[in-house]
Structure 1
């Protein structure tokens, strides 16, 4: 499905990612789901191919790309049927790494960003807590100044890449105000910083997810990421990139589910004809495809608007709510049309069904997104 926003260079990137997925991911994804993680050497090969830092500065190994290019990458990545792999990469490139890209000092970028783009250091972002998810301002992790250092205490929950990451960008309260928070760089191995437990999930099985514990974690003032006390606004800014990436993931799942189902219903015989011969099935799939294409066009318009410097918090919130709900409807309907085979663990459609559910929750639940829309009217 071509669109007016992409260029031949974008399509070359899409083809490059497709080749990587066919060669490096699809043959091994089932084993990664059993293991509960994506092998580090696969991520390093992505880095070597220039795929882990498209939006970052060229002098740090990045591609100096814009939001449209980044969307093409996320959408191409989302043609894999293994969402655990997809989210492992997108958290690194679009959800954690941007904090360093946008707010990091020259010294911090020189120290870390080369390794992030090369896949030598895998990144995670620690915002969500047991009592604070979409309500970012409700976090309770604290950071207090102690001489030349900061001391962090608290717990983070549902952290993607949390078990195996090397570099964590942690949000902590640094003042009494609701929005008084600061971002910090914390390296794995820092005394007092640990993985409380690895979490077992319904989907995204090859993505490691963790509870993180910060028990008097002492870090130098040089590890403050961005401006002290302004972390809330940094998180809000990065949410736009994150939510477009999650929309790309949702649209990719819709596209894959529809392709799988169109192939299946055309050959599946029932009552003397194929399922495709049933008018209700043909029409239902046609409408879901139309809505997927409409959502995709809106998604590209949002990314293009970012390149124009527009304030599109309302539109991106609409996009996240729309695609998070749409993917669940599309994938569940496609699973239904697979009959019993749609409930078998080894099938791609069953995996997409499990993996799609969280896209209406993570990165901003649908209800929260709709409130973000409504308060901007």
Structure 2
């Protein structure tokens, strides 16, 4: 039986992740990969997790292997609330938290909550591929707004909103990664955070704030990277957090902070998604926070990622031709590279893969019909030595193509 004609409209346009496809090509032995945005595998907190589990009582272990509440493990929710107030400056008055199976599920839950077919979502250009995919999967229309070195350009956003309003297009929310954006590495300035919130309130459009990298800043302190949610006194912002970078991506844990009525709706939706996030992961995360392991791990990894970022920028300066430009991230995992005019990023990728070097082409992070002349480099899960070799080969290949 051919079932293609029976597929729902919502999945007909879905495509495999560009990152996943490129990584298949780049999976041969000996490859130097600056592609995947993964945390440093060498320093994942295996010993901490092993110690936590080994010290569980029989009852705690049995409880962790059972079903959990759809909203999440209460003790973990309380620990997250404490940390969000202390470290992020987020007021929990009138707010609540739901635990999600990774922040990717959070994006799907938010998309299902807000989007009807044909509704519009505003994103930064470039933006996270997983978010764009989630919006498309719920038949949303993705509209991009340009950024500069200070983040999303507010004047361009306002013009875009006015234009869409005249066309009768309903904008359901604005999606942003204000801290060390994936893929650009750009940070939204504090002034623009305030202005973005003001614009959202004026147009009565929610903000979905994704903050997976906010703990990994390389300059200043946590006050310089406070979330937009910390400025929000009207419930405009839905804040998405994750344990993927501060514990492990394999544990598949995220959360959403939003108004109590919104969390109640999300909880109803999640019941039909997966009933509950694995309780085993939640109990591990609660102990990880309770013992203070999360803070010591963040401090350790902040230094490691800064060393790698510094090395990547030095290699780019050393090897790249003057026609190539790149961002200089204040934190996070990524550098966004602008290639010379008319250079094809996919052709560059094919040539560098033949030389055992991989990266991700920029079109994966752009809405449909945007011209691409970009590549993303990730320094988070690669040695400094391999990174230098890889950037040198990419630069040599660019020169060959010029």
TM-score normalised to the size of structure 1?
0.24
Q: Which has the higher helix share?
A: 1
Q: Which has the higher contact order (CA 8 A, sep 6+)?
A: 2
TM-score normalised to structure 2 length: 0.23
